Amino acid sequence: MKILVPVKRVIDYNVKPRVKADGTGVDLQNVKMSMNPFDEIAVEEAIRLKEKGVATEIVAVSVGPQKAQETLRTALAMGADRAILVMTDDEVEPLAVAKILKAIADEEAPGLVILGKQAIDDDSNQTGQMLAALLGRPQGTFASAVTVEGDSVTVTREVDGGLETVKLAMPAVVTTDLRLNEPRYASLPNIMKAKSKPLATKAPADYGVDTAPRLKTLKVAEPPVRSAGIKVADVDALVAKLKEMGVA
């Protein structure tokens, strides 16, 4: 069974984003970029399924600029077998990504597509769901456990107030939540080996997908600045202060 893992190049999660002065977006000049953390979890899960003998090949896909190659090389260094870069300098919205992934899934016929539950730059949480709908295949979102048995995959889902377990007929789409696994670091020899693994470069037009945006960003603003805290002398003063603020 083949597994397709879409990986997005995003602003590194340790970086504090700065909003552009004109409020049109986040400033990405000279900012560290990395693989979306939920996608690292997706790559890790695919590798574990391969190590268990469930999967035979892992194909990583990224839709993005030339530099997204680095993200794909990271996936290859972790253990993916080959990669596809669908190159575009446009900002691609989830629907366009889902359409491209559908076309690739039609070509590659993976048993599973494992995506992140959301990209930490746009926080959309849409691509996996849209892909499942376009493919007409079942989806198990927010996975905290994934078990493949025969032609089906059992997904434990993190839902409000607990866990839900669903069984999906494969081919299926799974999106990863934080607690699914802890992604491995790529070792130096594997980083070297990844340089010679196959990486195909395509364009959205090769899949007949128009990436023109459907949404217009009206404004991006910094979160409100938090006011400074105060120190109180003891518990009585704390309780008095909380009463004064109307929260106790």
Q: Footprint of ligand AMP on this chain (CB under 6 A)?
A: 6-8, 36, 38-39, 42, 61-64, 92, 94, 97, 115-116, 118-119, 122, 124-128
Pick between residue 92 and residue 244 the one whose CB is nearest to ligand AMP. Answer: 92
204 burial (CB, 10 Å; 0-12 / 13-18 / 19+) is buried
Residue 155 and residue 146: Cα distance in Å, rounded?
5
CA 159 from centre of chain: 18
Pick between residue 127 and residue 156 the one whose CB is nearest to ligand AMP. Answer: 127
Pick between residue 66 and residue 187 the one whose CB is nearest to ligand AMP. Answer: 66
Smallest distance, ligand AMP to C-beta of residue 8, A: 4
Q: What are phi and psi of 14, to 5 degrees?
A: -85, -10
Provide the phi-psi class of 22: left if phi over 0, else alpha when psi is between -120 and 50, else beta: alpha
Smallest distance, ligand AMP to C-beta of residue 191, A: 21
Smallest distance, ligand AMP to C-beta of residue 44, A: 13
- Chain residue whose CB lies nearest ligand AMP: 116
Pick between residue 71 and residue 156 the one whose CB is nearest to ligand AMP. Answer: 71
Pick between residue 126 and residue 190 the one whose CB is nearest to ligand AMP. Answer: 126
Say which residues have a Cβ less than 8 Å from residue 142's Cβ, sequence separation at least 6.
117, 157, 158, 159, 175, 176, 177
Give the 3-state secondary structure of residue 206.
Answer: helix
- Give the DSSP letter of residue 236: H
- What CA–CA distances, in Å, run from 234 to 84, 231, 238, 240, 246? 60, 9, 6, 10, 18
Pick between residue 205 and residue 239 the one whose CB is nearest to ligand AMP. Answer: 205
Smallest distance, ligand AMP to C-beta of residue 63, A: 4
Location of structure tokens 């190049």: 9
Smallest distance, ligand AMP to C-beta of residue 110, A: 14
Pick between residue 94 and residue 111 the one whose CB is nearest to ligand AMP. Answer: 94
Smallest distance, ligand AMP to C-beta of residue 40, A: 10
Q: In angstroms, how far is the first alpha carbon of the chain from the final one?
A: 58
Give the 3-state secondary structure of residue 229.
Answer: coil
Smallest distance, ligand AMP to C-beta of residue 215, A: 12
